[in-house]
Structure 1
Amino acid sequence: MLVLTGSNGNLGSRVLSSILDLNLIPPSELIISSSNPDHVSSRAKNAGIEIRRGDFTSPESLASSFKGADALFLVSFPSPAVDRWLHHKKAIDAAKASGVKTIIYTSLMFGGETGLQSVAGVQQAHIKTIEYLSQSGLQYIVIREGIYAESWWLYAGYQPKQFSKGDQSALSFVIPNDGPVAWVTWDDLGEGTARILADYQRYVGQTLRLTGPRATTIKDVAKLWERHTGRKAEVRLVGKEEAETYHKFEKKSLPEDAFWVLESWAGWHDGLAQGEAEVVDPLLEKLLGRQPLGIEEMAETLFTPV
């Protein structure tokens, strides 16, 4: 039995859909652990997958939801804060207490070749989690999920996700720094990850890197945006302090109680500038049997006005 967490999220929902679409794992061999079982997709329920309540903030519920499983697909807790690794720790402890033998954990493609050394705050929880996993006595697999092409707007300085037809105003990408990113789509990551889960025993002890086909800077993303919208995009690299000030007080990208997120966001760009997200790995193409989509292939979808 395999327990899936994060099945309502951007990645986890696509992993689940791929498992069902491609008949990769029989529904009878799956359990979904969710903090809100009512929100689990009707398709999962109709397929007959057992759904249990498991909340990262409640270790007792996690242990109960993992009971009887051989393996756990542990999707990282959705927060850029370093202390989210404590939720991962609780989940690992609960899995061990419940008799789970193998954990498949989703890390991130910051940190260059290994992912274990990074200046980006967003990677620190992953590093701590992997260190804890390595000392847990459990078998584990680390899947380093690539940087989402669908999140380009966030890396580019909190840009609009959609654009109105007829709007000819320019965009200003005010960011701390820039660097190459091997952007990849949610759909391709979901399918690639699902294929790993279907044959996870083959990968025990390995760190797997799922990336797009090439690395593209944020400046290059701005050029793609200009090409597809006919509008201008100015890219301003202003350093961490000025970028934080701009997004806090001038653009007001987030409310004051979320300023800590902006401080984390600014640190991502230090990692990009040091080449932490530029690694391109052929594994995802091998898993899919086709080249994964990068941001160039997604440009029409991402930048077409509505």
Structure 2
Amino acid sequence: MTTIAITGATGALGGRVTSLLAGADMRLDLRLLVRDAARAPDVDTDVRECTYADHDAALAALRGVETLFMVSAHEGPQRREEHRTFVAAAAEAGVRHVVYTSFVAAGPDTTFTLGRDHHDTEQAIAGSGMAHTFLRDNFYLDVLPGFADADGVLRGPGRRGRLSAVARDDVADAAAVVLRDPADHAGAAYDLTGPEALGLDEVAARAGAVLGRELRYVEEGVEEAYESRRAGWPDAEQWQLDAWVSTYTAIADGSLERVSPDLERLLGRAPRTLEQALERAPEQRG
């Protein structure tokens, strides 16, 4: 029996991974790590409360765990420190293998500013002595329509760039494959992308057709993008503004364009298209 801890089980990604693994394989003993046990998925499994920032609670929750599925924490200025605290607790608890949800362009100077946070976490995990697998996903296809404002406009400095966004369910499916046999994926870093690279005008047209909404892309300059977001969210901190704007500049400079074969190799099937991803995401309708 292998004990697998899953973080983020109350969220969309961790929740789907939980549903894929719970009861599906008698070799696996699941442990869900959540902030609030009352919100944990209704499955017959062990539930522990902890946060990434609380070393002692994380240490207690992780003792006896062999494989850890670490879903990246909510965006924020303290995320690097929180991740490093949790990684240190995992190593101290004796976790053998960490499967971490990273970002496809993760690096110390990647254009998308939050990708730099993911790189920092990868470095912490790699230096911890634990075996590891990095799932470097692109932006989620099913989230892209949420970039549009109330008027149905995706607005930003994406120019004519393209991105190979991926269905969130495909990332969960890939995580489940890795978690069932983590030793087969030790040391791997998989780029998880969709089957094609799309321009933002294509995203708007095709997503709008599925959702029954009129969506369109309007290009902004970089300074114009900062100004529009400061006007719309006057209380937003600088790191958040940088993240929002760099979402588009990363598309513009081509760093999110590459279509990777990794997902198809892991799943034995083609990744879902934009249309297929949205059809599985009813919350995007209306």
With normalisation by structure 1, the TM-score equals: 0.83
Where does residue 3 of structure 1 map in the other structure? 5
Where does residue 132 of structure 1 map in the other structure? 124
Counterpart residue type for residue 35 of structure 1: R
Where does residue 226 of structure 2 map in the other structure? 244
SS class of match (1:221): helix
* Residues 1:159 and 2:149 aligned together: yes
Residues 186, 266 of structure 1: CA spacing in aligned structure 2 closer, same or farther, 3 A cutoff?
Answer: same
Where does residue 48 of structure 2 map in the other structure? 52
What percent identity do the matched residue pairs reach? 25
Where does residue 164 of structure 1 map in the other structure? none
Provide the C-alpha distance between the structure 2 equivalents of 1:292 and 1:61, rounded to a whole number of angstroms: 37
Measure how far apart 1:287 and its partner are.
2.8
Structure 2 residue corresponding to 1:261, chosen from 240, 264, 280: 240
Tell me: higher relative CO, structure 1 or 2? Use CA pairs within 8 A at least 6 residues apart. 1
Structure 1: 5+ residue stretches without partners: 161-169
How do residues 1-306 of structure 1 correspond to structure 2 at under 5 angstroms?
1-20=3-22, 23-24=24-25, 26=27, 29-42=29-42, 44=43, 47=44, 49-79=45-75, 81=76, 83-111=78-106, 117-154=109-146, 156=147, 158-160=148-150, 171-178=152-159, 179-225=161-207, 227-228=209-210, 233-249=215-231, 252=232, 254=233, 256-257=235-236, 260-298=239-277, 306=286
Structure 2: 5+ residue stretches without partners: none
CA deviations over 1:69-111 (Å, ceiling 9, x no partner): 12211111111x4541211101111011111122111101234
SS class of match (1:68): coil
SS class of match (2:51): coil
Counterpart residue type for residue 32 of structure 1: L
CA deviations over 1:217-251 (Å, ceiling 9, x no partner): 212112224545776544322222211222332xx
Give yes or no for contact 2:22–2:30 (8 Å, CA) kept in 1. Answer: no
RMSD between superposed Cα atoms in Å: 2.5
Measure how far apart 1:279 and its partner are.
2.1
Counterpart residue type for residue 120 of structure 1: F
Provide the C-alpha distance between the structure 1 equivalents of 2:68 and 2:216, rounded to a whole number of angstroms: 45
Where does residue 167 of structure 1 map in the other structure? none
Give yes or no for contact 1:62–1:94 (8 Å, CA) kept in 2. Answer: yes
Provide the C-alpha distance between the structure 1 equivalents of 2:212 and 2:166, rounded to a whole number of angstroms: 24
Provide the C-alpha distance between the structure 2 equivalents of 1:305 and 1:71, rounded to a whole number of angstroms: 36
Residues 40, 116 of structure 1: CA spacing in aligned structure 2 closer, same or farther, 3 A cutoff?
Answer: same
Measure how far apart 1:202 and its partner are.
0.6
Residues 33, 124 of structure 1: CA spacing in aligned structure 2 closer, same or farther, 3 A cutoff?
Answer: same
Residues 220, 137 of structure 1: CA spacing in aligned structure 2 closer, same or farther, 3 A cutoff?
Answer: same
Provide the C-alpha distance between the structure 1 equivalents of 2:119 and 2:274, rounded to a whole number of angstroms: 27
SS class of match (2:9): coil
Give yes or no for contact 2:141–2:278 (8 Å, CA) kept in 1. Answer: no
Provide the C-alpha distance between the structure 2 equivalents of 1:298 and 1:8, rounded to a whole number of angstroms: 20
Counterpart residue type for residue 153 of structure 1: P
Provide the C-alpha distance between the structure 2 equivalents of 1:229 and 1:97, rounded to a whole number of angstroms: 47
Q: Which moved more, 1:225-234 or 1:269-278?
A: 225-234
Provide the C-alpha distance between the structure 1 equivalents of 2:164 and 2:134, rounded to a whole number of angstroms: 18
Give yes or no for contact 2:205–2:216 (8 Å, CA) kept in 1. Answer: no
Measure how far apart 1:53 and its partner are.
1.4
Provide the C-alpha distance between the structure 2 equivalents of 1:99 and 1:159, rounded to a whole number of angstroms: 46
Provide the C-alpha distance between the structure 2 equivalents of 1:15 and 1:202, rounded to a whole number of angstroms: 18
Measure how far apart 1:146 and its partner are.
2.9
Provide the C-alpha distance between the structure 1 equivalents of 2:131 and 2:212, rounded to a whole number of angstroms: 51
Measure how far apart 1:173 and its partner are.
2.7
